[in-house]
A and B are shown apart, each in its own frame.
Chain A
């Protein structure tokens, strides 16, 4: 099952250029015709500490990390050589080597930079025994030395790439092209020399291994990008020209990308004092007629609870992004989890009317962000895009044409000045901004923006009458409440008609189902394929609309299977709880496979978890939890 794929892991210290090197490696493989997918693991430390990135390459589309990996490039942690730090952290420079033993497959290749490590130390960590046991091909090389010969040791990354290419018999053409594209002058020349020298040196070693790098070709032009790129580009293409935020991992990614690019698109970015202000600014910009977004991660999003409620009550459209990381509280800043779903669905006081989308991959990060803006502005409601640290940083290639869509600058239901003149006005002169029964029969009331002639109204977080005046009249209250909440039914119907975000995978008919949401979808789909190959009868449904919930679709699907396993990255089965609450039944049909140790699922874990669950056995793996069906 794992033949014909390369999963290359590069490991080193944070700040050693692991991330950029892996990006280049993935891009070069994409250029050579392969499909690529990256998985990133890093500590909450700026410099030093163990970090790695995997690049998985196949000739067919890849939508998940794999099971372990088959090639390790361990660079050694260059920030861990201070004796004082050694007393504190231990021999950190060795971590990129020994911390990666667990997942390296049998028969894999282990290339490490002996220029940074003492032989005695390497002996102590049991490399030799482990290699023998697992039939690893261990290749020590002085990558640092090769780099230093041509200038600076930081270029050992390039040396690692050159050596990798030689060992795997990959042409260096694409790597050269990248170096020429990204660098100039002496730097370019030095890196090219390092690449070649390392390639030559590794070629002479003649490493004997079974890894076959697949060959592939693309039918059309590809792009490689992250979930944060895709969310940002979806926002820009949907006419978003205002962003406000406060840095917090992993939300910072979207905030940074938007801040870098919005001015060139004629937009505005504001880094402000806190997340309450960030959401409030987005509201103010939207009130004044601009498509706006803000966002944060768990703790920062908690602060946005109050402005979010204000957006609901004043029917001011905004889009908020929630990039999940492990919680509670500050939790694990750089580790993924899917445990903020309930936080996002239910935060803020009162009966809430909000839309929540959970993109499952980079493709959906783009399309669903566009949906979020369209829905928010057409229906005058806040929309939240919730994703996690896994999708945020992972790279995947897609056809460039996926992004070739017309921009949509339509600010939704805002009237022109001519239309305002013909619209209903209160006797006090105020425009009837919050009509109980809008003339077009929808639940969306007409909207004006400040500066338009005769469009004056009051937006207030208090309950209000049609012209915006504060009102506690019972009949008005019920009419306004109903209109705001009824929009959710309209939005559900709109989505069903125009953009189905749910994804079906596997055979049409199967005995068992796996239900999944968000970033674990691709991994589940890969596991489903394997389970069917193993003789099971399984299909999967990936749900990407959290609110309004796609009740009909999920009900029909659940009816069609005998049992369903719900896979999610949290400890309390939040999505399963939502499904049961929304559908009002199926509690006896759904059990859960949960993982919350800071690492996303691997396909084999889902295969194992599924098989143990149907056999009624206890999970062998201690890093996951099985939660049986709970009844209705």
Chain B
């Protein structure tokens, strides 16, 4: 038996394998959009042929962070905004893992915004799902980085003077190579996008619109939505950066005008992932680093064998 036999196991994968069993019961509010992410994620797994033992899911803090509890895989529920740096290193340590990270709009666009930009810039081979409900949910309804301008909350009683962040455009500029927006109310599209994102060799960013029926009652439930790939109105080439940028601009503007545009926004299959680039310049081992610790035949060099020569 190898150290990581679950990886690349050849067999039929069932959706139910990703349900953790009798506990815990989901504590999301009734009608929460987060259920849509969980369902789409579970549905995507058989499509990409991944089994629970080879998937490592990293989450931040907030309602989205509970995803780990309801999704059966290796999990790391980290700290607010920090899921991406933890996930990145796990991928570098063992590139054979299927690494998925998830967080909310506060988590990914606020407190962890720096990490989000840099992970996209480096184009790590992983999938990042941001549960975007335009509100802080678990802390009971404060304004978030994606709340619309003028949004009133207990912490911004006079209405926010800030314009919302534009995550799609931001991630395009940062360097993500797969960018999409989907919504909990659109389960088939969500499943397909998650499956594509996982199979994409590079950083895939999914802005996942998730309604918050408890704290964002006035806000839309993101229906009706338009799938930009299915609509004749939007004829653009997802691999063309300029056209993608224009599409994102429209998508982000119109969201706050009440029109929900979803779909693949940008797909670049040409750029190698970060791990591959690092390997090419000689800064990543050929074999997964983690394997070496379990390989009885691995030879462990000492500094005595060569480095000390310089000091003699």
Contacts and interface: CB of A to CB of B under 8 A. Distances in A.
A418 B3 CA distance: 9
A272 B118 contact: yes
A307 B96 CA distance: 25
Contacts of A453: 1, 5-6, 9, 53
Interface in B292-312: 292-294, 298, 300-304, 307-308, 311-312
A461 B82 CA distance: 12
A288 B97 contact: yes
A268 to B, nearest CB: 6
Given A229-B311, A289-B290, A429-B20, A459 B77 contact: yes
B307 to A, nearest CB: 6
A95 interface: no
A273 B285 contact: no
Interface residues of A, number: 78
Contacts, number: 231
Nearest to A290: B93
Interface string A403-441: 111110101001011100000000111100000000000
Which of B87, B96, B298 has the largest count of A CB atoms less than 10 A from its CB? B87
Contact of A469 (B6, B24, B93): B24
A178 to B, nearest CB: 12
Contacts of A61: none
Interface stretch (B28-36, B65-73, B134-142, B239-247): B65-73
Contacts of B283: 263, 268-269
A462 B27 CA distance: 15
B265 interface: no
A450 interface: yes
Contact of A266 (B5, B92, B289, B312): B289
B195 to A, nearest CB: 20
A418 B90 contact: no
B150 interface: no
Interface string A84-108: 0000000000000000000000000
Given A451-B7, A462-B77, A233 B303 contact: yes
Interface string A256-300: 000001010111111011101110111111011111100000000
Given A284-B93, A407-B302, A290 B290 contact: yes
Given A223-B312, A469-B23, A451 B53 contact: yes
Interface in B73-119: 73-79, 82, 85-90, 92-94, 96-97, 114-115, 117-118
Given A269-B283, A289-B94, A290-B289, A428 B22 contact: yes
A278 B118 CA distance: 12
Most buried by A among B1, B4, B89, B282: B89
B301 A283 contact: no
A293 to B, nearest CB: 12
Contact of B69 (A221, A310, A405, A469): A469
A451 B55 CA distance: 7
30 contacts: A237-B303, A266-B285, A266-B292, A268-B92, A270-B89, A284-B58, A287-B86, A289-B294, A290-B290, A306-B79, A400-B311, A400-B312, A407-B301, A414-B293, A428-B21, A428-B72, A449-B94, A450-B53, A450-B90, A451-B6, A451-B96, A452-B3, A452-B5, A452-B6, A452-B53, A453-B6, A455-B53, A456-B74, A460-B77, A470-B69
Given A266-B285, A268-B278, 4 more contacts: A274-B114, A417-B3, A429-B72, A452-B4
Interface of B: 1-7, 9, 20-24, 52-54, 56, 58, 61, 68-69, 72-79, 82, 85-90, 92-94, 96-97, 114-115, 117-118, 278, 282-285, 289-290, 292-294, 298, 300-304, 307-308, 311-312
